[in-house]
Amino acid sequence: MVFPLSDHLREGTKEAHRQAERTPFIRQFFAGRLSLDVYSEFLVQLFHIYTALEEHQEHHRKHSVFGRIYYPSLYRRNALIQDLNYFYEGNHWEDILPHKATVNYVKRIASLSNEWVEGLIAHHYTRYLGDLSGGQVLRRIVKKTFNLSSNEGLAFYDFPQITDHSQFKDAYRAQLDSMPLDEITSQKIVDEANHAFALNRKVFDSMMTSTAED
Ligand code: HEM
C-alpha cells in the first residue's frame, strides 16, 4: 500500500528530526545559552539558505508538481533581512561569508533546481513545516534569551499572512498528497528530506565552531 506523501515524509524523517533536536547547537538554543553573536551569525546562514530556496521556488512556481506548494506567504528572506538589520544595527552583515556547510546546502538546492525539481519538495517541507511547528517555541526562547521587548528581531518566526498554522499545515499536507508521484519518486523525496535534515545538522554543527571555513 502507498502512504500519502505527507505521512511518508513525517514517518520517514522521524529519526532525522530526533537527531536534529539533539545537536549541541539546538540544545544550547533551547537552554537560552546562545550568544547574540552566534545567533546573528546563524541568521546569516539562514539568509543564504532561504534566498536560494525562494529564488528557485520563484523560478519553478508553475512546475506541475513542485508548483502545488508555491506559497509566497511562507517566504522568510525579507523577514531575515529585517532581523539581520536589527541585530547588526546597520553594520554590513551582507559582507559576512556563509559557512562552508551553508554553501554546500545552497549548492544542493541549486543542483536539484537544475536536475530534479521534485527534490525541492523535500527541502521546502523540511524548512517551512519545521518553521511553522517548532519555530513558535524558538520565538519565545529568542525573545527571552535576548531580552527583546517588542517584535523587533523576531520577524523570522512571524507569518503575518498565516493566521492559523495548524489549518495551513493541513492544507499544505493536502497539496503534498495530491501530487501525482509514483512510489519510487515518493521514496526519493523522503530520502532527499533526510538529506535536507543532514544539511541542516551540518550548519548547526558549523555554528559551534563558528568560523567561515566550517
Ligand atoms: C529541539 C528542536 C525542535 C523541536 C522542539 C521541534 C518541534 C517540533 C514539533 C512539536 C513538531 C510537530 C508539530 C505538529 O505536529 O504540528 C515538529 C514538526 C516538524 N519539525 Fe521540528 N522541532 C525541532 C527542530 C527541528 C529542526 C531542526 C527541523 C529541520 C531543520 C525541524 C523540522 C520539522 C518538520 C519538517 C516538521 C513537520 C513534521 C510533519 O508533521 O510532517 N524541526 N517539530
Q: How confident is the model at residue 208 (pLDDT cuts 50, 70, 90)?
A: very high
Q: For the chain, how far is it from start to end, CA to CA, in angstroms?
A: 43
User: Which pLDDT score, from 0 to 100, does residue 210 have?
Assistant: 55
Q: What is the pLDDT of residue 156?
A: 98
Assigned fold of 5-208: Heme Oxygenase; Chain A (1.20.910)
In angstroms, the CA 24 to CA 123 distance is 22
Q: How does pLDDT run across 131-168, given as a tens digit for each residue? A: 999 878 999 999 999 999 999 999 999 999 999 999 99
What are the pLDDT digits (tens) for 61-75?
999 999 999 999 999
Q: Could you tell me if the CB of 206 is within 6 A of ligand 1? A: no
Report the predicted TM-score, pTM, of the whole model to 2 decimal places: 0.95
45 lines ligand 1 (CB under 6 A): no
CA-to-CA separations, 49 to 2, 8, 31, 110, 178, in angstroms, rounded: 32, 24, 25, 10, 27
Length of the chain: 214
Q: Is 200 in the pocket of ligand 1 (CB under 6 A)?
A: yes
Asked if 119 and 112 count as a contact pair (C-beta separation under 8 A), the reply is: yes
pLDDT digits (tens, 9 = 90+) for 81-91: 999 999 999 78
* Close Cβ partners of 164 (under 8 Å, ≥ 6 residues apart): none
Structural domain spans, the chain: 5-208
